[in-house]
Structure 1
Amino acid sequence: MPPITDADRDAARTLWDFNLLNQRARPVSAAVALGGCDIGVATAVAELHRARLFSTVVFTGGVTEATQGRFPRGEAVHFREAALALGVPDEAILLEAHATNTGQNIAFARQVLEGAGERVDSVLLVCTPYMQRRAYATCRRQWPEVEVLCASQKLSFDEYAEAQDDETDFVAMMVGDTQRVMEYPSRGFAIEQEVPGPVRDAFKQLCGRGYNAWFLRD
């Protein structure tokens, strides 16, 4: 892949702005912290718990091909430990350590909450910023009975990109998430969402530049 350019970053910002829902967080029945590559999810959980937006959080995510090098004992296990170190009490945490995709994250977390006797009519999905739209659409399909909100660390595109070990891989991941927003409804995995023309143009531009490492594998 060629070095990232300013034009690539401009297109990536368009995808970032599209995938970040900017919903106002409020108290909910429970939170679900989605596994992935970004341990910052645990930081966001700690901040939201301190704000008393929920009393129970499920960390969900097993060992996956994408994260096994970084989180060899499973995403949820590592995220839980990070949250404990940041002051989230152990009694507030439930663990789901088997999910390997977002649909399973939602479905398995729901089972854990129901098994713990939690009555849930609203849920806060805590995830990486650029995953918000996909997580929301997946939850609306998997768990339509609940009101869904999304939250992440409050970072700008530039702040997030600067913190990454590999900026090009981060952009490729965001391209992959955007592809899933567009493709998953037809596969029954998520609800349909409008994708504006400028977002589709930015997506095509980045695809043409080779940011396709995280594309769907049929």
Structure 2
Amino acid sequence: MISSQEWEDAELLWDFQQMHHEPRQCSVGIGLGSHDLGVADVAADLYKRGLVPLLVFSGATSRTTQERMPRGEAEHYRERAVELGVPAEVILVEPNARNTGENIRFSRQLLEREGVDVSSVLLVSKPYEERRAHATARKLWPDVEIVSASASMTLAEYVDSIGDRRLVLDMLVGAQQRLLVYPERGFMVSQRIPGPVAAAYERLCDAGFTSRVVPT
């Protein structure tokens, strides 16, 4: 059972994890691989709106996706985008990345090999990983502008789509923890964490929503 305080804390983290950028025209759209095909849906919509001329889907498989996406996350994203009307010739597939840092580095390398001039990126992720992805990209690709995008959903809507409240709260706590520990490991730029967000995170940790935290 999730208490009203825990839900309120989760909503604070949910809002903070999103960058609240307005999507705009960029050199390329990059969809970060995961279990969530909604990332491909958003990327396809951005292309069809004329905001990007090219899409890169990046991702291998993980324990979470190896059964659902046996051909690899990036390939399943590509198939989804083509189903939604994106021409196959404007999609590049990066099939090897297994974490957010590799998503960024390998996509950058692929675009360089393809001779694509990149000054800005529409970076598409799950809603609760916008800030983490943005901070990672700023660290690893500092000379381009990063514009974050994800499905426009409330926390309640996202929980309904996943079907597991506790898992989503665990993932939110895990995403928040990475903002705290990854900068010192050189994985992303540091973030200013507002006091109410820090307090909400601590309360959720104390309540045991920690299955997705990394060892420290």
Task: Say whether the fold is shared (TM-score over 0.5).
Answer: yes
Specify the alignment match of 2:41 in structure 1.
Answer: 43
Specify the alignment match of 2:162 in structure 1.
Answer: 164
Q: Distance in 1 between matches of 2:73 and 2:6?
A: 30
Q: Cα offset for 1:204?
A: 0.9
Match of 2:65 among 67, 70, 73: 67
SS at match of 2:182: helix
Q: Distance in 1 between matches of 2:207 and 2:73?
A: 30
Match of 1:4 among 2, 27, 40: 2
Match of 1:141 among 139, 142, 149: 139
Q: Distance in 1 between matches of 2:84 and 2:57?
A: 15
Match of 1:114 among 86, 93, 112: 112
Q: Distance in 1 between matches of 2:183 and 2:63?
A: 24
Match of 2:190 among 184, 189, 192: 192
SS at match of 1:67: coil
Structure 1 runs of 4+ with >6 Å offset = none
Q: Distance in 1 between matches of 2:35 and 2:182?
A: 21
Specify the alignment match of 1:180 in structure 2.
Answer: 178
Q: Cα offset for 1:19?
A: 0.5
Q: Distance in 1 between matches of 2:129 and 2:82?
A: 23
Specify the alignment match of 1:209 in structure 2.
Answer: 207
Q: Percent identity?
A: 44
Specify the alignment match of 1:132 in structure 2.
Answer: 130
SS at match of 2:148: strand
Amino acid at match of 1:100: R
The answer to whether 1:103 aligns with 2:131 is: no
TM-score scaled by structure 1? 0.96
Q: Cα offset for 1:162?
A: 1.7
Q: Distance in 1 between matches of 2:102 and 2:215?
A: 17
Specify the alignment match of 2:13 in structure 1.
Answer: 15
TM-score scaled by structure 2? 0.97
Unaligned runs of 5+ in 2: none
Q: Deviation digits for residues 173-218 of structure 1, max 9, x if unmatched?
A: 1110111111111000000110011111111111111111111135
CA RMSD of aligned residues (A): 1.1
Q: Deviation digits for residues 71-104 of structure 1, max 9, x if unmatched?
A: 2221111111111111111011000011000000
Q: Distance in 2 between matches of 1:59 and 1:156?
A: 25
Q: Distance in 2 between matches of 1:165 and 1:42?
A: 20
Residues 69 and 209 of structure 1, relative CA distance in 2, 3 Å threshold: farther
Amino acid at match of 2:118: V
